[in-house]
Chain A
Amino acid sequence: MSRASRGLAALVACATLTACGSGGFPADPNDTKERIRSSKQLRAGVSPNPPYVEVSSPDADPVGSEPELITRYAATLGAEVEWTVGSEEALIKDLEEGKLDIVAAGITSKSPWKSKAALTRPYIEDKDDKGKTESHVLAVPPGENALLTDLERWLDTHGGGQP
């Protein structure tokens, strides 16, 4: 057996052991999903983009289809939502730095943020002003794959549209 193949075998064996040991697969490098569950708090960032996200006053909780989805998803993890309102850019930066768990701003799958954040599979399709089809997505921290896959699976049945 060559050195490369021995190394590979060791890695696969190690992977299998860890996977069996810790339960979650795929896992979050920063344990975001587990933290939401244990702290019972989901930190969501929203940026106004009617009808997906509407913010009436700084003190009131945001409304619209996406805040509603997030509230319902948080409930599946036994968590309450803590809202942050800001610009998309500021929110995505917080997401990257692990200060937020999810961002909703009527983002589409064509968003330039896809290199900074992990975008979900489209959960609903819509037409934009020019009648072109847009696929809407939510954003989670990049590489937090347990949260990403869990959210995507949930959106499949509760997202309200054909992806």
Chain B
Amino acid sequence: MSKEVNFGATSLPAEQRQALGKAKRLEWITIAYMATCVAVVFSVMGSSQAMKAAWIEDMLGFVPSIAFLAAVREAGKPPSPEHPYGRHRAVASGHLAAAVALLIMGVFLIVDSGMGLVKGEHPPIGTMHLFGHTVWAGWVMIAAMFYTGIGPVILGRLKMPLAEKLHDRVLFADADMQKADWMTAGGTVAGIIGIGLGLWWADAAVAIAIALSIVRDGWSNVKFAARSLMDGRARTYDSEHTHPLVAQVHETLVHQPWVADARVRVRDQGHLFHVDAFVRPRDGVVPAHRVEEAAEAVRDLDWKVADVSITPLLQLPDTHDVPDARADQQ
């Protein structure tokens, strides 16, 4: 039997345990691969703005990988008196850090390339020596872009299903950005061919387009990371829909024979959900073991639901609506 792996106090099911191991391996591979990309692109980038943009994007590729590895390490520590909820917020914090980095670099690149375009800077690309031949450096840059463009697309596709299994937003953001990386590489190739054709503006124009996509990625990630830190209602790993568990928790509670009505608050702490439930017992009283059973039934719904508190009340708070199980799903 393999070693037990935890997120906080929750022992992961076999499927998640394997997914976590695989995701960690993929992130280490990403870090090693990106290190080679950064070196390759730096050595050939010359004065192309688009290459510079691609290089900075490669540098930023480290952020989500490191954020993920750091976050799962933190999240794996059990709750303690100092950290009674565990350390699952490490995920959202890492997510926010990665997103802010993306956003700032995108803005920097737009300004940098925009200035070049306005001032009419013509990027010079000369020749270089390669294996005893003198070649136009543009061809070498294009080759470098193929090298840096292929890896992320493969890694991104491998990571995406793991992000869903682990309900990990940092991993999702990482996979999502990597899947789109080929566009950066392709755009840069187009910019360099543009320079070769004497279209001096092509390069800066492509760099701005890349920068805009970085800003867009950054902005949507900042939004979702902030939403999570602000205790927004739990959403799916890709932030697209309200998480189905929200409705399931509610249904589970109202189906308890002693429960007349219930309201639930489900927030995503990062991997794990924290459920706050308010229930109105039919007769106004409920034995403690019934409450415990109900909590157990909620926990049994999914490995992600670990921290459940149920408060019996005579008057339910009307601030949170009953979630519609069908709304906002697919």
Contacts and interface: CB of A to CB of B under 8 A. Distances in A.
Interface of A: 4-5, 8, 11-12, 15, 18-19, 25-29, 31, 118-121, 140-146, 148-149, 152-153, 156, 163
A18 B197 contact: yes
A151 to B, nearest CB: 8
A142 B197 contact: no
A28 B198 contact: yes
Given A11-B193, A15-B193, A149 B199 contact: no
Contacts of B198: 26-29, 31, 145-146
Contacts of B125: 26, 145, 148
Given A15-B194, A145-B196, A153-B127, A26 B136 contact: yes
A101 to B, nearest CB: 14
A25 B121 contact: no
Nearest to A114: B47
Counting contact residues on chain B (CB < 8 A from A), the size range is: 20 to 34
B64 interface: no
Interface stretch (B183-191, B227-235, B284-292): B183-191
Contacts of B183: 4-5, 8
Contacts of A141: 122
B172 interface: no
Given A18-B197, A25-B196, A152 B121 contact: no
B193 A148 contact: no
B127 A142 contact: no
Interface of B: 121-129, 134, 136, 138, 183, 186-187, 189-190, 193-200
A40 B126 CA distance: 23
B53 to A, nearest CB: 15
Contacts, number: 86
A18 B121 CA distance: 22
25 contacts: A4-B183, A11-B190, A11-B194, A12-B189, A15-B193, A15-B194, A26-B195, A26-B196, A27-B196, A29-B122, A31-B198, A120-B126, A121-B127, A141-B122, A142-B122, A142-B124, A143-B122, A143-B124, A145-B124, A145-B195, A145-B198, A146-B198, A149-B136, A152-B126, A156-B134
**Which of A19, A140, A148: most chain B CB closer than 10 A?**
A148
A26 B203 CA distance: 14
Nearest to A116: B121
Contact of B187 (A8, A120, A140): A8
Given A5-B186, A12-B190, A19 B197 contact: yes
B126 A118 contact: yes
Contacts of A12: 189-190, 193
Contacts of A11: 190, 193-194
A99 to B, nearest CB: 15
A121 B200 CA distance: 20
B117 to A, nearest CB: 13
**Which of A5, A25, A26, A121: most chain B CB closer than 10 A?**
A26
A26 B76 CA distance: 55
B122 A27 contact: no
Given A8-B186, A143-B200, A156-B134, 15 more contacts: A8-B190, A11-B194, A26-B196, A26-B197, A26-B198, A29-B122, A141-B122, A142-B121, A143-B122, A143-B123, A143-B195, A149-B127, A152-B126, A152-B134, A153-B127
Contact of A26 (B128, B138, B187): B138
A153 B134 contact: yes
